[in-house]
Structure 1
């Protein structure tokens, strides 16, 4: 009996310790980095491209880092003297006033050589805290089980937040400064200058179309509409294959790959199977009738062309999802997964009317289609890729 009580008490203590664990942080690393910046402002430029104020665990350190960054970007020198006037002098850190604390940081500063290592440590710990927050939210929502959030919706929401965290290190969004937007615009112009065809967007492989659109622009939703039998799918498959066939990866500083030309393509074929779509693409590339391919009514020369084309196409980064009646939430989740695992530069959806809305029954099909297109536009912005969505028009 006593052993059982002792085990229960031990389990209770372990459970209490588990619930009162401190979030991962390293105050000493934060202090060392801030001290290095106050002594030599060049340390700021070694970490500013990836380290933001929100990544600091200590609120005072966030404020100091933010003030130092603002001061340095204005062309001024960030020191203990220039920063102390912008911080509350009556506040205290233990027994030290704010000016005394800044002086202590500078006095115990590390060399600028170690600045990036400390910055990476702070950044990694911030990501771990974000992971803990997402995990806690998942547990709490699963326990509460709100009526308006079924399990599948919670899974998709968690996957979205994890994807955003993996892509940017943050999942809270927020405003972007105009300076950052201008820098991105200049980068885009530079990439267009270096890219084949001097296009700001991804080339469709159709020169007349590229000349009018400047290529497919990232985050754009392009709707390709027409009556049945007008060649929408044929045009979309040509564009998708052209982009994938032109894919030329370029390694980045962090070891990841980015498309220099062409791109990785995700194709949602809601009407045709993947085999039918592949047959259509092979037919268009070899100029052998798809009906002849299906019937086997081909010559030996045609067959050799098909084999040669299929061998070449095996290396093309074109991924097909043939799930019929897919919802916008499922489509978004699978697109995030594809980008995370394989990369993604363009999405094609064939076609909108074969998709479903949020999963809730809707009597108004027009409102549901509006919800789908709004979701596709939001997905394009989130993944930063162009989306080509086909749409069926009635003969009326």
Structure 2
């Protein structure tokens, strides 16, 4: 039963002739699936969760599948008799009337058991046609690119479209047996038992924070929020360094590298340059303040220490993208590329408010931030990595006596709280106290000095939301001069004296 090809690709002329080839398709598979559906409507439910009308090559098959699906979903019967009323009677299908063609499909139908295999064949061929269209568009745009379009933009757009196909190009979704989920849960517990520290997720290198969170869990969106000056970037870079430093991997039987501990870290530094971030990390590791390094106010011994640590840092699986003004679509494309080329176990975004939505013309910032957080959450699930995203807080924090942040302070969108698996607020009482120094010599100054001594070098990580565990406050030690966070020794702890 031959149908006319509706799509043809023109090839280069050979030996003075023009030849053509059609896009990938399988008319017989489409006919067999439609026939199976017409004979037994249950066949539709075997393919309906992944197969759409647009996946069929022949337009008439697209229409028949769509109509049949609509009838079945309405609890009506889809048969040659009921379907023919929805197709113009004068339609010619390979020299047959509608009624003749539908009867032929039903008469030559295969069993319902084969329905899913035919559906997968149709679906895979539709993906191949999508790939051909992307390739054609890529060639045409490269030939006739607008003046304001750069090759880099074209590459990123092509990557976006390819990964959209990759993400939708699957038919293994839907319900699964609970036993499968149980197996995954037991595997996670086994990995946690074997891993140093007994954590189910990536260890941040901060003992008390890990104990509260169980490490950074794959696919989680973790928000670190705070007012300017709270050292959000420092905390994120400290965690990123600790994870990259702990990286260990092994080669699997299939030749792929599997992370055993720590991980490969990708850091989107939208505010700070790569050089500034590297200087901070070097300062944190060497104990030499980054401001002294920038001014060159260092000794020869300091320089030797910086050089030695720089050599060590060069080998870390820590990758920085310092491009400013990225859209969420560009960020996702670059993260996927890093995952494919180098591997990826943790992604850090500094910070949400510096990202733009996919449509740069949007005037509604709330909707834009909603798109950004939703996309980050989806990206974490797609790449199966935790994502740490930094966020600013609204100014209303400054109007309260107790300036410890809370969930309602998240800036510009409630979607940040909604989409996040973990929301952590960074708070340093010392930052606010040092800006309120009374006049020296007064009783107020003595009281202020006492409060400063108590707050000096302390930071609070307030876990305001956590899907998998408790909320609460974790105290950390913070060395402002070198922007380093570390575990805080308990107040009752007194070191042994010699």
Please classify the TM superposition score into its range, dividing by the shorter chain length. Answer: 0.5 to 0.7
Higher RCO (CA 8 Å, separation ≥ 6 residues): 1
Contact 1:200 1:215 in 2 (8 A): yes
Partner in structure 1 of residue 215 of structure 2: 215
- TM-score scaled by length of structure 1: 0.65
Residues 19-47 of structure 1, C-alpha deviation per residue, up to 9 Å, x if partnerless?
A: 17677xxxxxxxxxxxxxxxxxxxxxxxx
1:160 matches 2:159: no
Rounded to whole Å, the distance in 2 between the matches of 1:300 and 1:139 is 56
Q: Deviations over 1:290-313 (max 9, x none)?
A: 011001111122111111111111
For the Cα contact (< 8 Å) 2:328–2:358, is it kept in 1? yes
User: 1:134 Cα shift?
Assistant: 3.4
State the distance in 1 between where 2:391 and 2:385 align. Answer: 19
CA deviation string 1:354-379 (max 9, x = no partner):
11011231222122112111111111
Task: Output the CA distance in 1 between the equivalents of 2:161 and 2:285.
Answer: 41
Contact between 2:24 and 2:129, CA under 8 Å: does it hold in 1? Answer: no
Give the equivalent residue in structure 1 for 2:226: 226
CA–CA distance in structure 2, aligned partners of residues 353 and 377 of structure 1: 16
CA RMSD, aligned part only?
3.4
User: Residue 163 of structure 1 contacts residue 340 of structure 1 at CA under 8 Å; is this kept in 2?
Assistant: no
Partner Cα distance (1:204, 1:272) in 2: 22
Q: Structure 1 residues 179 and 366 mapped into 2: Cα distance closer, same or farther (>3 Å)?
A: same
Q: Which of 118, 131, 137 lines up with 1:135 in the alignment? A: 131
Residue 11 (structure 1) aligns with: 17
Aligned length: 287
Question: Cα gap change, 1:258/1:176 in structure 2, threshold over 3 Å: closer, same or farther?
Answer: farther
Structure 2 segments unaligned to the other structure (5+ residues):
1-12, 27-50, 52-105, 112-120, 142-152, 397-498
Task: Give the TM-score normalised by the residue count of structure 2.
Answer: 0.52
| Structure 1: unaligned runs, 5 residues or longer | 1-6, 24-53, 55-89, 99-124
Partner of 2:285: 285
Q: Distance in 1 between matches of 2:339 and 2:155?
A: 20
Classify the secondary structure of the residue corresponding to 1:212: helix
Q: 1:99-144: per-residue Cα shift (whole Å, max 9, x none)?
A: xxxxxxxxxxxxxxxxxxxxxxxxxx99985762431342687899
Name the larger-Rg structure.
2
Q: Which residue of 1 aligns with 2:340?
A: 340
Partner residue, 1:43: none
Equivalent residue number for residue 353 of structure 1: 353
Tell me, yes or no, if the aligned pair for 1:249 and 1:258 is still in contact at 8 Å. yes
Q: Does the CA-based 8 Å contact 1:159-1:333 persist in structure 2?
A: no
Q: How many Å separate the matches in 1 of 2:107 and 2:199?
A: 55
In 2, Cα distance between the equivalents of 1:357 and 1:338? 21
Over residues 162-203 of structure 1, what are the superposed CA-to-partner deviations in whole Å (9 max), with x where a residue is unaligned? 6559xxxx5456215133322222211111111111100000
Matched, 1:377 2:377: yes
Task: Confirm or deny: 8 A CA contact 1:134 1:158 kept in the other structure.
Answer: no
Show the counterpart of 1:197: 197
More helix by share: 1
Partners in 2 of 1:348 and 1:329 — Cα distance? 16
**1:175 aligned residue:** 174
Local SS of the residue matching 1:359 = coil
- Per the TM alignment, residue 271 of structure 1 is displaced from its structure 2 partner at its CA by 0.6
- Counterparts of residues 298-337 of structure 1 (less than 5 Å): 298-337=298-337
Cα 1:183–1:140 shift into 2, 3 Å: farther
